[in-house]
Chain A
Amino acid sequence: MSNNNPKDLSSNDKRLTSNVKAAGCAAKMSSAELKQVLAGLPKIKSANLLAGIDNFEDAAVYKLNDDLAMVKSMDFFPPVLDDPYLFGQIAATNALSDIYAMGGKPTLALAMLVFPTCDLPLSTAAEILRGGADQVEKAGAIIAGGHSIQGAEVLYGLSVTGFVHPEKLLTNSGARAGDQIVMTKSLGTGVGLLALKAGLLDDDTKGMLVSSLTTLNDRAIDALAHLGTNTSHYIHACTDITGFGLIGHIQEMSKASKVSATINIKHLRFLPGVLEFARQGLVPAAAYGNRKSFETNVSYIKDFPLEFTDLLYDPQTAGGLIFAVADEHAEACLKALNGSGVAATIIGQFLEGIPGHIDITMN
């Protein structure tokens, strides 16, 4: 047991996560709930709106002129761990990721904080904001203000504005049959954070989890941008892996792009220890919710151990990116990513087939 674990300390201090039922992206509404809530909204059509609500995109994109489009997103959630500075960093990493997932660069951010000033010291709020601000600075963007209110539960996040050349915009809907699926980062932050909350992580494992949670997705986008001028010709689609888990986000992309997908479980990367924690029953509620929402469109070609399939549905906080890359360019992209220190693997392929259908194989 790690002695960083605050669970066994008989301190009267209120912990940041003590009121939190579902943490990070695990706190997201389920896909079905979201669909129901959004169903009644008017459909917005505008020639300049390059990405909106339709395909469950990561961010909205508005074309300003032929050379420039504005990318806007907002993301916030309850604390995923007890260290306020780290929580701020992680929430910011997660919010900034939406801009990268559209191929953009973040420029300007506003902070959003809900904070129970009676229950927690103000220094905690300051630490959360400092963590977020430091991360935004790392991303080369600026925080220029925000909004805070009192509330029973801590919530923190950012509204981020970024920019992208309209031709370099990466959406959910561009994947084509034959494209390889390239994934960055490792899976398992949902299970990992639960194990952290349970006090089961040693310092090394905790370090790797936190490092994954605070790694910006900027380097992946930069690495691919440096490949050539017309990367958009062979990087057809991109999204980030967050609350709906790997399967949920691949399913969204495959539905939006009208292709099916196959994922090779052998090529997936997992955070250290998470398979064993999942095997012992440390599976977040949202993973079951994701399984319920998405599993009916999934075929397992083999009978996989439960812990593997649990991780496919594990809600990710500040997860990696998924790219749909033209087959003949996949190796070059992989090389560029790994060459700039971004751990990436080809985890499967998009195929002609029923949109939203995913085969899980192991070759």
Chain B
Amino acid sequence: MKKQLDLRGLTCPEPVLKTKKVVDQADVKEVEALVDSEVSVQNLARLARSQNLHFQSTRENGHHKVLISKDQTGTVETKHQTSTAATRDGAGGTIIFISKDSFGQGNSASLEKDHDFSLNLLNVFLQTVHQSGHEVRAVLLANSGVKLMDPQSPHQKVLSDLAQGGVEVLACGLCLDYYGLKEKVKTEQITNMFAICEYLFAADKVLSP
């Protein structure tokens, strides 16, 4: 039996309690719950995980639809995974790892002209990757490489093009913090060293221009 719950407008811990009550009924095989906060989605994901049930969440016009079912057990799927969880699904692929805001190094790194050239070259590289159709799993940005994420940076465009093409674009949070960019970048694009390590070790190929 499938049960539907409308839990919109309720605050924590009501959505979890109400869902648990229904999930605990033996004859219920599937629960579809509407909730209106990301917190409720995350809490329901934990509830499903604790009982080893299948969990799925989708976002639709202003609210979230959560599906918990007893038939398929053990997998948790959510579109908004934490950075560490994101590395658990299908590893491998090609990773582009950019740890400085330049493509190689010019004659003199201290010369502004040379640095601008190296930075532009990096932009050209990313554009070429985007247009070439090569399959890339993720672009990881660290150290001064995170400066490409600055919304004011002219290099932001190629990154959003890549992201729209399904490439994960992730920047090191520590580095964003250091360069004063953390507040300017979307949280789902911020990651940590643990996740960066996971990506690099799981990769089939790592390109570091």
Contact = CB atoms under 8 A, between A and B. Distances in A.
Interface stretch (B46-54, B56-64, B158-166): B46-54
A197 B13 contact: yes
B44 interface: yes
A296 B182 contact: yes
B127 interface: no
Contact of A285 (B37, B84, B194): B37
A282 B174 contact: no
Contacts of A32: 183
Contacts of B183: 32, 35-36
B12 A300 contact: no
A306 interface: yes
A194 B183 CA distance: 30
A49 interface: no
B106 to A, nearest CB: 28
Contacts of B119: none
Contacts of B84: 300, 303
A281 B43 contact: yes
A285 B35 CA distance: 14
A194 B12 contact: yes
Interface stretch (B90-98, B133-141, B185-193): B185-193
Contacts of B176: 296
B194 A279 contact: no
Contacts of B38: 288
Contacts of B187: 292
B42 A299 contact: no
A300 B45 CA distance: 21
A140 to B, nearest CB: 37
Contacts, number: 81
Contacts of A148: none
B46 A306 contact: yes
B17 interface: yes
Chain B contact residues: helix, strand, loop or mixed: helix
B82 interface: yes
Interface string A271-285: 000000011111111
Interface string A285-314: 100100110011111110100110010000
Interface size bracket, B side: 20 to 34
Contact of A280 (B11, B12, B20): B20
A357 interface: yes
A285 B20 contact: no
A299 B83 CA distance: 11
A310 B172 CA distance: 21
A194 B13 contact: yes
Contacts of A36: 183
Contacts of A296: 83, 172-174, 176-177, 182, 190-192
A68 interface: no
Contacts of B11: 21
Interface in B21-43: 37-39, 42-43
B16 interface: yes
B39 A278 contact: no
A354 interface: yes
B37 to A, nearest CB: 7
Contact of B13 (A198, A303, A356): A198
Contacts of B17: 198
Contact of B42 (A21, A194, A288, A295): A288
Contact of A288 (B39, B44, B177, B193): B39
A280 B46 contact: yes
A281 B46 contact: yes
A282 B192 contact: no
Interface string A25-39: 000000010011000
B191 to A, nearest CB: 7
Contact of B82 (A291, A299, A354): A291
Nearest to A303: B84
Contacts of B83: 295-296
Contacts of A301: 194
A298 B191 CA distance: 9
Interface of A: 21, 32, 35-36, 194-195, 197-198, 278-285, 288, 291-292, 295-301, 303, 306-307, 310, 354, 356-357
**Among all A-B residue pairs, the 7 with the closest Cβ atoms:** A296-B173, A281-B43, A281-B46, A281-B47, A285-B39, A281-B16, A198-B13
13 contacts: A21-B11, A32-B183, A283-B39, A283-B46, A288-B39, A296-B83, A296-B172, A296-B182, A296-B191, A297-B174, A299-B194, A300-B194, A301-B194
Given A295-B83, A296-B190, 10 more contacts: A36-B183, A198-B17, A279-B50, A280-B50, A281-B47, A281-B50, A296-B173, A297-B192, A306-B46, A354-B174
